[in-house]
Each structure stands twice: as C-alpha cells, then as structure tokens.
Amino acid sequence: MNSQHFLSHIFTSKDFTVNEQASIFSEFERVHYSKNDYLIKEGALVDKYWFVENGYARAYVIDINGNDISTDFYTQGDLIIDWISFFQHSPAKENIQAMSDCTVWQINFDKFQGLYHGIKSFNEHGRATMVQGYFNLKEHSIAMLTEHAKERYKKLIHDKPHIIQNVSLKHIATYLGITDTSLSRIRKELISE
C-alpha cells in the first residue's frame, strides 16, 4: 500500500487540501517491525510516533510487583504515541511492542513540528487526536473503577474486535484488570448467553 492510499485515510481530503496532503505524506516514513520488536522501551526518550498500517502492537508497564500489565492495544489505523515523552522530552514510562509483524508510518518530532506550525489543519487534526486520546484514556480509567469486568470485556469486543481475535488472553486479562481464569469464565458466560 502506498503512502497516499493509507495516509489519506488518516489525513482525509475533507480536512486537507491536495497540497497539504502531499506535504504531510512526504514527511512520513514507512517502517516495518518484526514480532516482538520494540517501538518504545521504558526509559527511552521518544522522538517519533506512528500510525499502524497493519499488524498488532501492545503498550504495557511492569507494576511494582513485577507483573506485566497491558495498558493499550493498537491495530490498523491506530496512532501509537507516548504523548508525555514525545512532547515533554521525558523518559517513556511504558513499553510498546509489536505483537505481530507490523507496518507503520512514522514521523519524527522535528518533522511533526514543521507540519504542526506550517499547516493549520494539521495543527487542528493533531489537537483533536490528542483530545480523543485523552477521552479514551479517561473512559478506560473510569471503567476500571465503575464497571464489572464483563462489561469492560464486551466494550473491548465492540470497540476493537480484531484485538480479541489476535491478542493473547493473558494480555487482554491484564488490560481488563482481571486474571486469566476470570476472563475464561466471562468468555464462557458470554457464549452461553
């Protein structure tokens, strides 16, 4: 898939002129990651972000007890970014790892800044994307405190069905804040409903 085809789904013609799209597309680079490669390692300074063309990736942290806890999943069309590290130039607190072979489109901080300050619609698109990312994070945080695991699992099925089919149950369980055993029970209950 060429950049015009994939990136035009992200930076649509309804929001950007043909010239703006061309300027944006020229700053992105198509990169491949193999399964288990890291896009971001905890402690690193992150100066890139990515849009996933294909494949699956996962964000995770190691908690204070040494447990691997999934914090997000990414698939086609998703933005992979560590907002704090990217914008504040501070060490990343999460790891982001390819769970399958992945093709992504990356841009570095300097090229991003050039587009952000040079194309008003890119600036607005970036702001809207950041706000949506914040809403998603807030919604997940509140759901972890106010919803039963079964409801959180059903929402994940609804919002990201491909993740359910392509990510290990162990990783999904930690994302939902439950054990593998609890997730297996929930899955059996949903099948029998």
Interval 48-63: pLDDT, tens? 999 999 999 999 999 9
- In this prediction, residue 5 carries a pLDDT of 83
Q: Which residues contact 53 (CB under 8 A, 6 or more apart)?
A: 1, 6, 30, 76, 102, 103, 104, 105
- In this prediction, residue 192 carries a pLDDT of 83
pLDDT higher than threshold 80 for residue 7: yes
Domain residue spans in the chain?
3-146
Higher local confidence (pLDDT), 38 or 3: 38
Burial annotation 41-58 (CB, 10 A radius, 16+ → b, else e): ebeeebebbbbbbebbbb
| Confidence bin at 4 (pLDDT 50/70/90) | low
CATH label, 3-146, candidates 3.40.1020.10, 2.60.120.10, 3.40.50.300, 3.40.50.150:
2.60.120.10
- In this prediction, residue 44 carries a pLDDT of 96
Copy the structure tokens of residue 120: 């008003």
| Confidence bin at 191 (pLDDT 50/70/90) | confident
> Can you tell me the distance from the alpha carbon of 38 to that of 97, in angstroms, rounded to the nearest whole number?
4
What number of CA atoms fall less than 13 Å from residue 46's CA on the CB side? 26
Query: Averaged over 18-32, what is the pLDDT?
Result: 95
pTM of the shown model = 0.89
Any idea which residue has 């072979």 for tokens?
Answer: 101
Query: Averaged over 76-98, what is the pLDDT?
Result: 95
